[in-house]
């Protein structure tokens, strides 16, 4: 029996073999506590810092600006709460299409008495930097706009937004969980103050991620304990997971542009095939301003959930995996003003390093039957 064609890399990526080997080695050989002063601890500390350097190189940061956390959700929570809770009052500005790990902290801040505004997006899912400028207030503390959307793959104009924030002396955070490892990301070119990384979106294990914190930016703690990770993320570091993330960063840096072009070619092959099968297919977002691996399309008049249930040989998503299998319209498509009958037929296909041309052709055969 053929294995299903996996086209859900935005939900999670498989762990690369070289990453798995690095994790295994640390679990069995280099198991020391990096806080220990003996030989095992010193070696663990060396591995920890090498992983920090590898991740920093990938995003053009300094290694001391990288803070290891459990994943994208913790990084986003620390970015928002760590920034805003330093003040008794303040205003936060986020986009309407953020991941729940940004939306939910923002709503919690609203409940706590802070002011929160939600930036609209246009019909293709993009934030207008000038709208950010218009909505800034004297008391604005933080602006958070994701680098690339997890559902549509839309790459936001974060450098322009960061410039607006810098001119107003407001901190800017971007959730780059879906972008790092897929497209070139430079914190210097963006000009952001905080940036979120999730390991399991870039072929590292689940349960590890990082928050870039620009030098000079101070955050309040949301966890309390010992002094690991500058006291902002106390607890003994998960060395094997951190080493795996470092190795994944090395792999991504080695062929980032070439792999992006390969996946973009396969994505367009999929799009052309879907158009032939169902000429009424609608594409969300601008192909030139979208992650090279992501294709969000709608089959108007059809139910995406029903199409996928019939196309059993394909693993894809009717929205983001965080609320998959629900018939409700995703908040992202709703913010874009997508009509309900179009949103209901939307499927997100996301490709990755192990996707082949044969996979795409086979997926199209299966979808032809499902549709």
Q: Which one of the listed residues 165, 192, 315, 322 is annotated catalytic?
A: 322
How much is the pLDDT for 2? 78
User: What class has domain 5-13+255-370?
Assistant: alpha beta
The domains of the chain are located at 5-13+255-370, 17-251
Q: What is the CATH number of domain 17-251?
A: 3.40.640.10
* Strand-pair category, 209-213 with 66-69: antiparallel
Q: For helices 239-277 and 357-370, give the axis angle rounded to 10 degrees.
A: 50
Q: Would you state the pLDDT for residue 321? A: 44
| pLDDT score of 82 | 97
Per-block mean pLDDT, blocks of 10 residues, the chain (371 long): 90 98 95 89 94 98 97 98 94 98 97 97 97 97 98 98 98 98 98 98 98 97 86 89 98 97 98 96 96 97 93 85 60 94 95 98 94 87
User: CA–CA separation, 155 vs 191, rounded Å?
Assistant: 16
Residue 208 · residue 238 · CB < 8 Å:
yes
Question: Residue 75 is inside which H or E element, if any?
Answer: helix 72-84
Neighbours of 257 (CB within 10 A): 10
Contact between residue 142 and residue 92 where contact means Cβ atoms under 8 Å apart? yes
pLDDT at residue 156 in the model:
98
Widest pairwise Cα distance in the chain: 66
H helix and E strand count, the chain: 12, 12
The per-residue pLDDT for 329 is 83
Identify the CA nearest to 87 among candidates 166, 143, 141. Answer: 141
Q: Is 192 a catalytic residue?
A: no
pLDDT for the residue numbered 327: 61
Residue 143's closest CA among 123, 166, 121, 126? Answer: 166
């Amino acid at each position: 029996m053929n294995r299903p064609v996996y086209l859900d890399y935005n939900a999670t990526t498989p762990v690369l073999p070289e990453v798995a080997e690095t994790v295994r080695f640390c679990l069995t050989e280099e198991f020391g506590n990096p806080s220990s002063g003996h030989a095992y601890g010193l070696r663990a500390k060396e591995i920890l810092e090498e992983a920090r350097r590898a991740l920093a190189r990938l995003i053009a940061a300094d290694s001391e600006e990288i803070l290891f956390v459990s994943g994208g959700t913790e990084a986003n929570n620390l970015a928002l709460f760590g920034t805003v809770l330093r003040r008794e009052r303040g205003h936060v500005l986020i986009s309407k299409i953020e991941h729940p790990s940004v939306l939910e902290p923002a709503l919690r801040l609203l409940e706590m008495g802070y002011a929160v505004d939600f930036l609209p997006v246009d019909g293709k899912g993009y934030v207008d930097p000038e709208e950010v400028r218009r909505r800034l207030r004297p008391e604005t503390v933080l602006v958070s706009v994701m680098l690339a959307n997890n559902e549509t793959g839309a790459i936001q104009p974060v450098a322009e937004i960061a410039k607006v924030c810098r001119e107003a002396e407001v901190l800017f955070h971007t959730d780059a969980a879906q972008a790092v490892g897929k497209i070139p990301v430079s914190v210097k070119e963006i000009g952001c103050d905080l940036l979120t990384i999730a390991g399991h979106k870039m072929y590292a294990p689940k349960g590890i991620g990082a928050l870039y914190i620009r030098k000079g930016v101070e955050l309040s703690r949301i966890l309390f304990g010992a002094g690991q990770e500058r006291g902002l993320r106390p607890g003994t570091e998960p060395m094997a997971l951190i080493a795996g993330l470092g190795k994944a960063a090395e792999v991504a840096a080695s062929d980032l542009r070439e792999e992006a072009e390969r996946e973009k070619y396969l994505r367009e092959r999929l799009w052309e095939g879907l158009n032939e099968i169902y000429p009424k297919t609608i594409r969300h977002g601008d192909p030139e301003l979208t992650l090279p691996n992501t294709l969000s399309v709608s089959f108007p008049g059809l139910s995406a959930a029903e199409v996928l249930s019939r196309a059993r040989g394909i693993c894809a998503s009717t929205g983001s995996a965080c609320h998959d299998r629900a018939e409700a319209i995703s908040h992202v498509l709703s913010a874009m003003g997508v009509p309900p009958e179009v949103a209901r037929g939307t499927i997100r296909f996301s490709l990755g390093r192990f996707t082949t041309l044969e996979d795409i052709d086979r997926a199209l055969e299966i979808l032809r039957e499902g549709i």
